[in-house]
Amino acid sequence: MKMVTAIVRPERLDDTVDALAAIGLDKLGVSEVTGVDGNLPMESAIDQEPGMRQPSPYKEIEVAMAGEQVPAAIAAIRAAAAEGKPGDGKIFVRELKDIIRIRSGERGLKAL
């Protein structure tokens, strides 16, 4: 089992969620996050020190899946979220030891 986390631009969220649903991954979590990317240009404003990087709003999508679904999930996320610009986001893939449904105690992928 794997956990895929994607950090995407807010305006790309709906397309990304739709792309994941199209490949059968429709049970997921979405959170608001902010990030500072060291590769983006530094901003300067009156109320901050020159050269400080501005935090940018992003959406974080988390979805658990079987390991064999990961390549399709990565392709779907990239196709839906990429604009070809710095700050498009990131995809993280982690190993999941277990999933437990609170209500029934079911474990593994059946708990999704």
* Tens digits of residue pLDDT in 52-93: 667 889 999 999 999 999 999 999 999 999 999 888 999 999
* CA angle, 39 then 82 then 15, to 5°: 135
Go through the domains of the chain in sequence order and give each one's CATH number. Answer: 2-36+55-111 (3.30.70.120)
Is the pLDDT at 47 greater than 80? The verdict is no
| 98 in Cβ contact with 112 (< 8 Å) | no
Query: What's the pTM?
Result: 0.84
CA torsion sign, 27 to 30 to 36 to 42?
positive
